[in-house]
Amino acid sequence: MKRRLVHWSLILALATTANVQAQDIDLSAWQVASEEHPCDVTALLQNPAGTENYGWNRHSSDAAAGYNKRNTEFANSLYSGIGIESWYWSPVKGGTLIWQDVTELLPGTYRVTAYVVGQIYNNSARKGQCGKGTYLFANEAQTAITSAKWQELTATATVGEDRRLRLGIKADTQNENDWVSIAHVKVLCTGFAGISSLPTTVLDERYDVSAARETGVSHIRLHRTLSDSGLTPVCFPFDMSEEETATYFTEVREVTEASLATDGSVNYETRSVKALKAATPYLVRARRGGRQLIEVPMAILHPLNEARPVIRSFNKTQAIGTYRAQEAIPGIGKVNGYSFYITAK
């Protein structure tokens, strides 16, 4: 089958329409993260700055109160910005006040840093003071809040095989503060436990996995942005059976020939296939568009050994597969990971 693509970047653009706020996270840096050279994974949080009205859960007692505010009562020279708030007429005893779950983290050690504040408000004798009993927390780790003005605190947590980090502000049974807030949260990995420590290998188009060379059989979970109205270029590091392929795609076409025109468009030939093979360029139409999860229960990971390896050569062109997001390819632009593009030899 022969098709003409008006401009290759139009197809590639389909892979970037969803989750536009996400940032790329370099897995090669993640895998060597240390205290001296941490890997910033803050991009996995929703609304980490606390300046928008989404992403954070709050104690049900104050569900109708203000979500985020800039309060002059908290302001000081350290920080005077907007934060996510939790307020109630009396201190909540022994509860989680503001929190967010970060999922799909790789196992390891994570340092959570945030601006926080705790204040006694509905107590005429101690109004404006910081009482005891509130904490910045990250999983089981916690650091006491000790200021009625903004202070920067840190809590260091361990993430295990559940790959989940819950963070925010919580109170113990001695809590005296009825007004707390959190802002500008950062999450840094300071120690990586390794892909092989997972019963499931978690992959994502936002991560650079060109450095991931685990080859054992694993349950693979890939988060990928796909289109159900057009064709998305894909290049996966694992095989998919006919049944697995049919679960996620209504059309799969393997590129068998390609040529570049002087206007920058691409002529290419494809053939229909029923199963996907690792490190092979395909154009696919998804059963459901947008960012979704592809699962392959038993698979061998076949990482590419370079960031931009040639995986298929044609007469005067070549299809280059990548598991690393490419930012500036002339005439094409950005290419997400787990994709490919065609260029001249």
Sketch the domain layout of the chain as residue ranges.
2-22+196-344, 32-192
CA distance 33 to 54: 29
Per the CB < 8 A criterion, the answer to whether 98 and 56 are in contact is yes
Widest distance between CA atoms in the chain: 83
Q: Which pLDDT does position 101 carry in this prediction?
A: 96
CA distance 147 to 124: 18
pLDDT, tens digit, 9 for 90 and up, residues 293-302 = 999 988 887 7
* DSSP 8-state secondary structure symbol assigned to residue 71: -
CA distance 177 to 134: 7
Cβ count within 10 A of residue 272: 9
CA distance 253 to 283: 5
Q: Which pLDDT does position 140 carry in this prediction?
A: 95
Q: Which pTM was predicted?
A: 0.57
Q: Which pLDDT does position 6 carry in this prediction?
A: 29
CA 111 to chain centre: 17
- The answer as to CATH 2.60.120.260 being correct for domain 32-192 is yes
Tokens of 322: 């990548």
Q: Which pLDDT does position 34 carry in this prediction?
A: 87
Q: Which pLDDT does position 17 carry in this prediction?
A: 23
Spatial CA neighbour of 265 closest among 343, 336, 206: 343
CA distance 283 to 252: 6
Q: For the chain, which ranges sit under pLDDT 50? A: 1-23, 196-197, 211-213
Q: Cβ contacts of residue 124 below 8 Å, gap of 6+?
A: none
